[in-house]
Amino acid sequence: MINLETLSIYIMICVLAPLIGAFTLLFLFIFEKQIDSLKSKANRLALEQELQRTRFDVLSQQIQPHFFFNTLNVIMSLARLDRKKDLISSIEILSKFFKHKFTSDQSLSTIEQELQYTNYYLDIQKLRFGDRLHVKQHVEPKIRNKMIPTYVIQTFVENCFKHGFERYQGNAELVISIHSCDEEVILEVWNNKGEVGRSEANSQPKQEGIGLENVRERLFLLFPDKKADLILIERATFTLVRMEWPLQEQ
């Protein structure tokens, strides 16, 4: 004979068991959905990172044909002028440039490395421009080991030649300045203009080339949530490119 207390417990179990089972199933269903959502987010993030890496590689490669074409023109000019010693030096410098290029596949490198890489390019241009070219570099010593997007300095310097020095006669003055301000690094590349360059600047609206647009897109990819900017200042007597980005440790 079942007493009243046992009957109450039995009824309670019969009522609670389905509820506990339902709550357990609901919990497992929600947990499984959350797991699926996390997996989906992880896959989407991996795809976005892969897309950004691919885009960055493509954007980086866009620069190289310009430099390679211009450098070959320099070497060809030296050969035509029968400047054998300078020709050999330019080929040696070009070899160092490619050695750096093919051992560096990172999106960021140190300012010191980028300056060295840029100086290979300038060494070739010095052979071409001779005493006409005057280069000054002002770099804050304490930030030489900080990080900078790769190939940026060389791109800006190359534009000085492509859109400035190659279009007029007279002194070709180039200034590279890099300094820090609070938690940001500021790079400025300045070049003067000759009379022809000034008349062109006054008669034609300045259009940014693929190099500057390339760098701007790379800044967006590298620092999507931080302050980074690139501006081009065009005047009758000079051109200035100014880029700022967050201070990056190695």
Of 157, 149, 174, nearest to 238 by C-alpha is 174
Say how far apart CA 158 and CA 164 lie, in whole Å: 10
Give the whole-angstrom CA distance, residue 152 versus residue 59. 12
- What pLDDT, on the 0 to 100 scale, is given for residue 225? 79
Q: Which residues, 6 or more positions from 103, have their beta carbon under 8 angstroms from its beta carbon?
A: none
- Angle at which helix 111-129 crosses helix 84-103, to 10 degrees, equals 160
Which helix (H) or strand (E) segment holds residue 34: the answer is helix 4-80
Instruction: Write out the chain's pLDDT in tens, 250 residues.
Output: 667 777 777 777 777 777 888 878 888 888 888 888 888 788 777 767 766 666 666 666 665 666 677 778 878 888 888 888 888 888 888 888 777 766 666 788 899 999 998 998 898 888 778 899 999 999 999 999 999 988 899 889 988 988 888 888 889 999 999 999 989 999 999 999 876 555 555 555 555 666 788 888 888 888 887 889 999 998 989 999 999 999 988 8
Residues with Cβ within 8 Å of 6's Cβ and at least 6 positions away in sequence, in order, are none
- Whole-model pTM: value is 0.70
Q: Which of 225, 230, 234, 226 lies closest to 214, judged by CA?
A: 230
pLDDT of residue 51: 64
